[in-house]
Structure 1
Amino acid sequence: MALHGSWNRTEPDGYKVVALHWDRQGEITSEDFASGFLRPDNKVIGRPVDIEEGIDGSIFISDDYAGAIYRVRHH
């Protein structure tokens, strides 16, 4: 899930991609998958928008701040 990032908060939030996992009881946990779009000094260097999976299993992440599409693939 792409967390696009806030633009109007005192404390910025989001600016990352998280993986969601469901257990057998239907509980959802999340873990960071791609982060670093918001630097520790609160400088924004990217805002993930959407995620698509390619036919080869690669994951594509669009970033409307950097005007980029990132490809993540397994080696």
Structure 2
Amino acid sequence: MSGRRPPEPYGRAGGDRLIALFLLALVLFNPPLLAAFGAPATLFGWPSLPIYIFGVWLAIIALIALAMERKGRDGDDRG
């Protein structure tokens, strides 16, 4: 054995980013925060809760896509 470890599938930094995004999503979808947007307020005639839920969902997906895209640039491409 040469003592070399196989490369991690997402790289150390990429894995840390994904864990951080997961924890961010847990906080943003926490019921007390959702209750703040559950008030009968509207934004352009739309209820604020669905706008918040879908906006955060879209932002988390976009951030995950960016984190996965960076994986190729940050990781060690040597085999």
TM-score (norm 2): 0.20
Structure with greater proportional strand content: 1
Please tell me whether Structure 1 or Structure 2 has the larger radius of gyration of its CA atoms. 2
